[in-house]
């Protein structure tokens, strides 16, 4: 039998992976306590302190002590309760696991009690339990996470990465409960202040920017599921999958199956590789889902997934069509084609047709009239039209008189001189052969073929261009001599608060590549200058790709940071497969590649070209 403190530390590995896990558990407990105001305070990305203060129901003295025991919970009593869950937690492992690996201080008081309880625990050991004067609710402080497991603490990422994970957990809980007032502080500064509101306002308050105009509402109620929420318009789709949220009974979940239903609804509306944003709230009967299949409770098993898939896909597609986001058949009539009011009800009059019964098409035509006569007679009858008289051919022999003399005066064929053609032994002259040796060819708008002495070289145009751009950007950033093109009208780009923080952190490196930032606001950036090889239309795509590549963490060292930025920008700006290149562009790319320090591989360590020798070709033709 393992000692209790060892068993708790092992169990903590399933529940507490990083400071964000503690944030999730404490916020969900505060929500379950029916709090209307929740504060989250963190220091050093949660490594030094994670504190959650709520104004919920609080706990009695007995419950305050028991909540730190393993498998002790107030949320279920029988196994059958697992299929009628209306709370976030139910296993009774979270607080015991957190207390096993940190210094924990809890203050709690119920509304009807005069005094509250103050408990201090360090690594599963009760240090003190005292009576204290406290406000209604619970305050839970977790300090020095993993203080007794140094190996786990060493595996934590940088403060930037851990802070981003905490933000993710905070946003998920805040989005699920717009009726609760949430506040978040990091190192003494307020990051979020989200007043109680509706779903739409909560989404806009968290992601700021132009989120409001991106959202298309969804509403559908069936016996199987109730669906409400929002999806984004196709033109606002991004490269990354950041703003994608599913909530089932106010619990955040991940589901590749339901994500596929959303993507199917957007079929034909998105560019390749683009991802829509969505905030979908599903309400299903608790007995039709099983939450207890994953330690983090982010995966759920549904009874009838196929029906859920079909309903979700139809709902999204209907909303996109209803709000004129997706193309639909328009059966509205054109008002210009309506019958005028004065003629409504009147019958159409039959046209009168006049026929000249005496007209004979085979008879002699009428004599030609003057223009004035003809113009006046056009309206009378058909027999008055002018016809050209046919030429008399009775004396046709006379047409050839004198023709013989004209033929005899022509130059005899023997006296005609012809230019002599030079006969050579080859199809091409030497000059053409010399030009052909240095010529490049593009195959399937993907590969460039160029002959060399030993055979030929086949180059992947996308990977080759990535290598060229990568070395250019890296040189500019390290030497700090990047040239910039000034814009006539500055660009104003909108980002979420998390993305703005990333841009601020990367600002110096981006300036070294050629970007000029005029302003950086809370939800937007104003750019007045771009690198020379970047166009205005590519800026938003480039920055989105860069933020997506670095969302898992920015390297600490400046060289690694520059390397990551150069790779991301090279990937975004490189010529893509399927792009036609002129012969001059092919030669420039070829020369640029072989002028690189490492032309053999792309920045992502994939080969840029292969060579085929004449001997290899000979073997192919050998029988």
Comparison of pLDDT for 333 and 57, the residue scoring more: 57
Nearest residue to 17 (alpha-carbon basis) of 46, 39, 44, 43: 46
Give me the chain's average pLDDT, please.
80
DSSP run (H or E) holding 264: helix 256-265
- Two tokens at 24? 């999730």
pLDDT at 361 over 70: yes
pLDDT at 373 over 70: no
pLDDT at 152 over 60: yes
pLDDT at 432 over 60: no
Comparison of pLDDT for 106 and 564, the residue scoring more: 106
Q: What is the pLDDT of residues 588-614, one digit of tens each?
A: 888 888 888 888 889 888 999 988 888
Region 484-506: what's the mean pLDDT? 82
Q: From CA 380, how far away is CA 363, in angstroms rounded?
A: 19
Cβ–Cβ < 8 Å for 448, 588: no
Region 179-197: what's the mean pLDDT? 91
Q: From CA 155, how far away is CA 121, in angstroms rounded?
A: 24
Cα dihedral 130→131→135→141 (10° resolution): 10
Q: From CA 125, how far away is CA 195, in angstroms rounded?
A: 38
Q: From CA 119, how far away is CA 124, in angstroms rounded?
A: 12
DSSP run (H or E) holding 450: strand 447-452
- Two tokens at 289? 């889902």
Q: Which of 53-67, 228-242, 329-343, 520-534 has the highest mean pLDDT?
A: 53-67
pLDDT at 90 over 70: no
Q: What is the pLDDT of residues 317-357, one digit of tens each?
A: 888 887 766 655 555 655 666 666 666 677 777 888 888 88
Q: What is the pLDDT of residues 234-245, one digit of tens each?
A: 888 877 777 889
Confidence of residue 489 (pLDDT cuts 50, 70, 90): confident
Q: What is the pLDDT of residues 392-407, one digit of tens each?
A: 666 666 666 666 655 5
DSSP 122-183: ETTEEEEEEEE---SEEEEEEESTTTT-HHHHHT---HHHHHHHHHHHHHHHHHH-TTSEEE
pLDDT at 213 over 60: yes
Comparison of pLDDT for 533 and 91, the residue scoring more: 533
How far from 181 is each of 11, 31, 140, 580, CA to CA, in Å? 32, 11, 18, 55
Nearest residue to 465 (alpha-carbon basis) of 611, 564, 591, 610: 591
Q: What was the pLDDT predicted at 330?
A: 53
Beta partners for residue 131, in sequence order: 117
- Find the angle CA(527)-CA(531)-CA(534) to the nearest 5 degrees: 90
Confidence of residue 587 (pLDDT cuts 50, 70, 90): confident
Q: What was the pLDDT predicted at 392?
A: 61
Residues near 481 by Cβ (< 8 Å), separated by ≥ 6?
none
* Mean pLDDT lowest among 55-69, 359-373, 446-460, 566-580: 359-373
Confidence of residue 380 (pLDDT cuts 50, 70, 90): very low
């Amino acid at each position: 039998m393992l000692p209790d403190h060892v068993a708790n530390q092992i169990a903590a590995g399933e529940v507490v992976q990083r400071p964000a896990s503690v944030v999730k558990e404490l916020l969900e407990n505060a929500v379950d306590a029916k709090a209307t105001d929740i504060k989250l305070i963190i220091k050093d990305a949660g490594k030094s302190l994670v504190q959650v203060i709520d104004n919920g129901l609080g706990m009695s003295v007995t419950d305050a002590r028991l909540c730190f025991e393993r498998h002790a919970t107030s949320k279920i009593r029988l196994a059958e309760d697992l299929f009628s869950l209306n709370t976030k937690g139910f296993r009774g492992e979270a607080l015991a696991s957190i207390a096993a690996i940190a210094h924990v201080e809890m203050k709690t008081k119920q509304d009807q009690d005069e005094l509250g309880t103050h408990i201090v625990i360090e690594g599963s050991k009760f240090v003190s339990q005292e009576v204290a004067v406290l406000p209604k609710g619970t305050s839970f402080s977790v300090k020095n996470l993993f203080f007794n497991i140094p190996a786990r603490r060493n595996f934590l990422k940088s403060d930037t990465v851990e802070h981003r994970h905490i933000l993710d957990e905070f946003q998920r809980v805040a989005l699920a409960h717009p009726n609760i007032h949430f506040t978040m502080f990091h190192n003494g500064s307020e990051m979020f202040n989200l007043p109680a509101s509706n779903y739409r306002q909560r989404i806009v308050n968290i992601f700021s920017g132009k989120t409001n105009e991106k959202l298309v509402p969804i509403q559908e109620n069936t016996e199987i599921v109730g669906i409400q929420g929002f999806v984004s318009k196709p033109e606002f789709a991004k490269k990354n999958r950041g703003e994608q949220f599913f909530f089932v009974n106010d619990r955040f979940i991940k589901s590749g199956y339901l994500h596929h239903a959303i993507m199917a609804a957007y079929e034909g509306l998105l560019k390749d590789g683009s991802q829509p944003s969505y905030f979908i709230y599903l309400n299903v009967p608790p007995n039709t889902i099983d939450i207890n299949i994953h330690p983090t409770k982010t995966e759920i098993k549904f009874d009838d997934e196929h029906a859920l898939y079909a309903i979700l896909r139809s709902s999204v597609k209907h909303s996109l069509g209803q709000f004129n986001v997706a193309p639909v058949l328009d059966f509205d009539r054109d008002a210009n084609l309506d019958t005028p009011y004065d003629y409504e009800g009147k019958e159409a009059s039959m046209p009168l047709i006049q026929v000249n019964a005496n007209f004979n098409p085979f008879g002699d035509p009428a004599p030609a009239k003057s223009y004035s006569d003809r113009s006046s007679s056009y309206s009378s009858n058909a027999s008055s039209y002018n016809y050209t008289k046919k030429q008399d051919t009775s004396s046709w022999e006379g047409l050839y008189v004198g023709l013989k003399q004209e033929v005899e005066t022509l130059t005899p064929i023997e006296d005609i001189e012809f230019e002599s053609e030079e006969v050579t032994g080859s199809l091409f002259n030497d000059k053409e052969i010399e030009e052909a040796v240095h010529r490049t060819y593009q195959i399937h708008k993907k590969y460039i073929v160029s002959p060399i002495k030993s055979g030929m070289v086949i180059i992947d145009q996308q990977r080759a261009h990535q290598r060229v751009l990568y070395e250019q950007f890296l040189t500019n950033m390290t030497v700090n001599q990047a040239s910039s093109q000034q814009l006539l009208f500055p660009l104003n780009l909108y980002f979420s608060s998390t993305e703005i923080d990333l841009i601020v952190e990367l600002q110096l490196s981006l300036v070294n590549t050629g970007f000029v930032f005029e302003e950086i606001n809370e939800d937007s950036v104003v750019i007045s200058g771009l690198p020379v090889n970047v166009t205005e239309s590519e800026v938003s795509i480039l920055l989105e790709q860069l933020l997506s590549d670095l969302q898992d963490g920015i390297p600490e060292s400046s060289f690694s940071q520059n390397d990551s930025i150069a790779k991301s920008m090279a990937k975004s700006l490189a010529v893509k497969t399927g792009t036609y290149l002129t012969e001059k562009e092919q030669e420039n790319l070829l020369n640029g590649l072989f002028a690189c320090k490492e032309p053999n591989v792309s920045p992502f360590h994939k080969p840029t070209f292969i060579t085929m020798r004449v001997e290899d070709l000979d073997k192919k033709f050998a029988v």
